[in-house]
Amino acid sequence: MADSYTIGQERAADGSATLLHLGGELDITARDVLGETLRAALDDGDVVIDLDAVTFIDSEALGALVAAYHIARARPAGFRVVNARGVVARVLKVSGALELFGG
């Protein structure tokens, strides 16, 4: 079966950040690839993570985002999570991740 998730990547038009467009359902099967992608992106500087097309997130995938946030803080590099909707926004809020990521 195909992966339940997608990860797209581009540089911001002004070259200032890597934009990661995540999609589908992010669960434990996405965790390791997501973590590696985030770490590699942070090696190039600031990262913006767009969750607009994400329809589900579990604690494992969220853990990969939180780990990347801490890497970004230590660099320091910019780290923004945007466009969380529905159950994804709810999981981010209830877990405290939304507050951690800065709203």
Partner 1 sequence: MDAMSSLSASVPYPRATEICRWTIADFGDLRGLRADLRATEDVTAAGPDVVDRVTVVANELATNALRHGLPPTVVRLLRDGDRLIIDVADHDREGEPRIAENRPLGGGGLGLQLTRRFAIDVGWYATELTKHVWASFPS
Give the binding site for partner 1 (CB under 8 A). Answer: 1, 4, 25, 27-29, 56, 58-60, 62-63, 66-67, 70, 86-87, 90-91, 94-97, 100
Q: Closer to partner 1 by CB, 13 or 94: give it.
A: 94
Give the DSSP H or E segment for 13: none
| Nearest-angstrom CA–CA distance, 27 and 56 | 8
Q: Closer to partner 1 by CB, 16 or 59: give it.
A: 59
Residue 69 C-beta: closest distance to partner 1, Å: 8
Q: Provide CB contacts within 8 A for 98, sequence distance 6+.
A: 81, 84, 89, 92
Q: Closer to partner 1 by CB, 2 or 13: give it.
A: 2
